[in-house]
Amino acid sequence: MPQSDVFGKAYHNATKHSYLSVQVEPNYVDASTQPSAFKVYPKFYRRVKLNLNNPIHSFIWLTSAVTFEKVYNSDSYKLRVNPSAGALYPTEIYVQIRGMSEIVDGIYHLEVENNCLTLIYELIDDGLESYIIPGKSINGFIFLVSSVYYRSSWKYKQRSLRYCLLDSGHHLGAVAASAYLHERNIQLIFDFDKLTLNTDLGFENKEFITGCAISGELQEKQVRKLRLKVPFVCGTDYFEANQFIEDSYQATAVQPSRQQKLKQPKFNFEQDKFYQTIWNRRSIRCFRKELISQEHYLYVLQLLQQPIPTKQYEEIELYSVVHRVEGMISGLYKGVNLIKTGNFCEQTGYLCVNQALARDCAVVFFFVSEYTSYQTAMQLAGFLGQRIYLVSNYIGIQCSGIGAFYDDETQQFLQTTKDVLYAMAIGI
């Protein structure tokens, strides 16, 4: 095993589910104690209200917008363009804007609940580039995705770092979707000085940077690090530290990713329809056990093969358990190759911690990887998960992410020794 992989593998192994572990430690929480899901800076900070008729504002807004509000047991839940495990939304977005005439050069926090940008740091000759793309400056945007981990560990405890990373990948996928609609290319960056940046952004281990996306014009120019530390603001109304999560994040934050040539994906979505897909995307809560067409299934597979716009990557292998696809043999597939035939509805339902979603859907996808960077691999799995959400909803079928499964038994079923990172169910 490569030395760089030790900590990621150790964390993944330490947080595996099994039938016994789920029975011994059932995941019960008191909903009345849920921490707040929105970070807000003090009222005296300067704010820019997002005007959706302004293309720059619209681009930023659609990366994180609240798209639906529902009330359950008198509690209000604000659902967003980016899905999140348990609708806990641990991720936050910060965006550095440089070279836009109508906006002050600075680092802004995207205040999702109120549709505004909060200026938390004004730039002079400094900026985020020195942490992320040393020796270069960008006229445009640097999006930072962070995780306020207690929003997730409140419910998911030690396993919550998995969900934070998957949710970060989903959020980066939402940035990519907005970029497509606004005809902007982006580049995802995972290998950079996250630990120093966390300190300079004043996160105090209560929040941590996970991933980054840049969009704009790169220039050869030295930019110095932030001349001042950003004052600390907690992302929850109360906080309970988890040293295991904090140590695991820090250990995996320095693992280098594999390298590849940067390629942009090529999609051909109808703009208005894709916008409505982003706006109306939801996680399905139950399937009707109906067939989907082979054409739709293959369309999802095809678009999953489109490049991910990053130089830093981990290979994510895709397994499909086909339950209900017209004209296809039910069974386990790796890519398009049939590995074994059979009706595995009950088995996949069991493997996904007895969730009916995995039993009643048309197809369950499993992402597996033998990674060098755990953080990169998990975020790429989430990024691909966001792509499945949007592609499936675009063609009129439903989708739900599944982060809970019996790890070792799922590996055995898939006939792989690689770690299982995520599952996605699609169907009607």
Virtual torsion, Cα 362, 364, 365, 367, nearest 10 deg = 170
Rg (CA), the chain: 21
pLDDT at 321 over 90: yes
Q: E strand or H helix at 192, and its extent?
A: none
Nearest to 389 by CA among 71, 79, 57: 79
Strand locations in 221-304 (E): 258-259
8-state DSSP, 245: H
pLDDT at 5: 61
The span from the CA of 214 to the CA of 217, in Å, is 9
8-state DSSP, 363: E
pLDDT at 67 over 70: yes
Pick 401 or 29 by higher pLDDT.
Answer: 401
pLDDT digit string (tens) for 202-237?
999 999 999 999 999 999 999 999 999 999 999 999
pLDDT confidence bin for 1, thresholds 50/70/90: very low
pLDDT digit string (tens) for 104-161?
999 999 999 999 999 999 999 999 999 999 999 999 999 999 999 999 999 999 999 9
pLDDT at 159: 97
Average pLDDT of 284-312? Answer: 97
Going from N- to C-terminal start, the domains of the chain cover 34-254, 283-427
pLDDT confidence bin for 75, thresholds 50/70/90: confident
Cα torsion angle, 23, 36, 57, 201, sign: negative
pLDDT digit string (tens) for 153-206?
999 999 999 999 999 999 999 999 999 999 999 999 999 999 999 999 999 999
Tell me the residue type at 345.
C
Portion of the chain with pLDDT greater than 90, in percent: 94
Please list, in sequence order, all residues whose beta carbon lies within 8 angstroms of the beta carbon of residue 28, skipping any fewer than 6 positions away: none
pLDDT at 2: 43
* 34-254, CATH topology level: NADH Oxidase (3.40.109)
- pTM over cut 0.95: yes
The span from the CA of 187 to the CA of 310, in Å, is 5
pLDDT at 28: 83
Per the CB < 8 A criterion, the answer to whether 371 and 377 are in contact is yes
Q: Tokens 């940046």 correspond to what residue? A: 197
- What angle is formed at CA 373 by the lines to CA 418 and CA 312, rounded to 5 degrees? 115
What is the chain's mean pLDDT, rounded?
A: 96
The span from the CA of 374 to the CA of 211, in Å, is 12
Average pLDDT of 363-383? Answer: 98
* 349: three-class secondary structure by DSSP: helix
The span from the CA of 71 to the CA of 7, in Å, is 40
Per the CB < 8 A criterion, the answer to whether 151 and 239 are in contact is no
- What's phi and psi for 218, nearest 5 deg? -85, 140
pLDDT at 69: 87
pLDDT at 76: 75
What is the full DSSP assignment across 299-339?
Answer: HHHHHHTSPPSBSEE---EEEEEESSBTTS--EEEETTEEE
Q: What helix, strand, coil percent values describe the chain, rounded to 5?
A: 35, 25, 40
On the 0-12 / 13-18 / 19+ scale of CB atoms within 10 A, 392 is buried
pLDDT at 3 over 60: no
pLDDT at 418 over 80: yes
pLDDT at 102 over 90: no
71-75, 141-145, 362-366: the lowest-pLDDT one: 71-75
Portion of the chain with pLDDT greater than 70, in percent: 99
What is the full DSSP assignment across 84-103?
Answer: -GGG---EEEEEEEES-TTS
Identical fold for domains 34-254 and 283-427, yes or no, is yes
User: What homologous superfamily is domain 283-427 in, according to CATH?
Assistant: NADH Oxidase (3.40.109.10)
